[in-house]
Chains A and B, each alone.
Chain A
Amino acid sequence: MSALVEHPDILALKRRQRAGVLGRRVGWVLLPVVIASTTLHYVGEYRILTAALVTLVVLLNTVHIALSVYVFGFVRPRRTLRVFHIYFGYLLGVLIWASQTNLDREPLHTWLTALMGLGIAVHLLLAARCAAQRRAAQHAWGRALSG
């Protein structure tokens, strides 16, 4: 067993699995930050805080996409919700990036933000569905396998 665990392919797989778990957590952190940064931008006050949050959104978004691409890559397109969730996530990542880096270009920014909000709602629904399934699966297979 130890020889198997030390094999480079197994180590690479474990790295990907850890990246997958981390990517999901980054996604859940990103959600409130993107809501806060968008809200503060439209409130128009707290400029420094808004700028800091926008920077954080861009950073977390980049990490979230990078981890997803590292874990899943460009998986073969199939008619499953998981595959849709992955590609939709890539698209949404680009949209978030575009929205957050065009703050001064109205009405482009507002259009991008509206699309981003819609995209986040869909992505969130799918993520919540996956999380519920994961929770049920963890119950069925024991919490030792949680991820």
Chain B
Amino acid sequence: MPVVEHEHGAMRENLVAALRADIISGQLGPGEPLRTEAIMQRFGVSNSPLREAFAQLATEGLVVVQRNRGASVAPLSREAADDVMRVGGMLLEHVLRWGMPQYQQSDVAALRRTSLDHDLAYLSGDLAMAFVMADRFIDQLVERCGSRELGHAFRGLHPQLQRVVRLLEPLVYLPLQSSLQAATIAAGEDRDVNSAVMAVGSVWRQIGRSVAALDADRFRG
């Protein structure tokens, strides 16, 4: 019985990861209906893990499940994207305020290595890896924030943040990520929390302005 449950759980996790990736990358657009039959056929899963996957993605804000109408990709309006960016900025500020005073040299070194890998991937045209490194950098900040609940709150919003920043051209978003990382590392070396919050906040607002300046056809909902 535990083996069956484990397989069921792994199947659901794979399904969640695949659907999440499709929604974040825009392959499944805002408002697009998620056809149960087609997904069951594509992934070879039954109805039960699919319903659980929809429920999990709904808690992440990526899917909307309506009674008698099935599931669809959550709409994404300009206002909603702006809201996600503002809340993300607030949480990131607290991640820095709570975590940075405890940073050790090894923490800064780990952040620097991830930042360098991000820059190398970006320079060499490996944009997908640059996005992954950008996520890893934020993950590393969250891991070091010293609060399980704050980490949980940030991770809960992270899929929506990924979805919003993915609307931007990589050539717009990734250099801003580089600036954010450089500012964090520079301030982290001195545990200068206020400088970090100011610099990262400024870059974050720039990302938000870039999202706000996107054409209306990028949003739906």
- On A, residues with C-beta under 8 Å from B are 1, 4-5, 10, 13-14, 16-21, 23-24, 71-72, 75-76, 78-80, 82-83, 86, 130, 133-134, 136-142, 144-147
- A139 and B21 contact, Cβ closer than 8 Å, known pairs A10-B171, A78-B112, A80-B116: yes
The answer to whether A142 and B26 touch across the interface, beta carbons within 8 angstroms, is yes
A137 to B215, CA, bound (A): 27
The answer to whether B116 and A134 touch across the interface, beta carbons within 8 angstroms, is no
CB-CB under 8 A from B189, the residues of chain A are none
CB-CB under 8 A from B120, the residues of chain A are 72, 75, 82-83, 86
- The residue from A16, A71, A76, A145 contacting B131, defined by CB atoms under 8 A apart: A145
- Distance in angstroms from A145 CB to nearest chain B CB is 4
- On B, residues with C-beta under 8 Å from A are 21-22, 24-27, 112-113, 116-117, 120-129, 131-132, 166, 169-172
The answer to whether A141 and B117 touch across the interface, beta carbons within 8 angstroms, is no
CB-CB under 8 A from A140, the residues of chain B are 21, 24-25, 128, 131-132
The answer to whether B21 and A147 touch across the interface, beta carbons within 8 angstroms, is no
The answer to whether A16 and B113 touch across the interface, beta carbons within 8 angstroms, is no
A10 to B175, CA, bound (A): 11
- Distance in angstroms from B183 CB to nearest chain A CB is 18
CB-CB under 8 A from B121, the residues of chain A are 82
Interface contacts (Cβ under 8 Å), in number, total 96
Question: Can you name the residue of chain B whose Cβ is closest to the Cβ of A139?
Answer: B21
- 6 A-B pairs, CB-CB below 8 angstroms? A19-B125, A20-B124, A83-B120, A134-B129, A141-B132, A146-B128
The answer to whether B21 and A142 touch across the interface, beta carbons within 8 angstroms, is yes
- Distance in angstroms from A30 CB to nearest chain B CB is 17
The 3 closest A-B pairs by CB, nearest first: A142-B25, A20-B124, A17-B125
The answer to whether B25 and A141 touch across the interface, beta carbons within 8 angstroms, is yes
CB-CB under 8 A from B132, the residues of chain A are 133, 136-137, 140-141
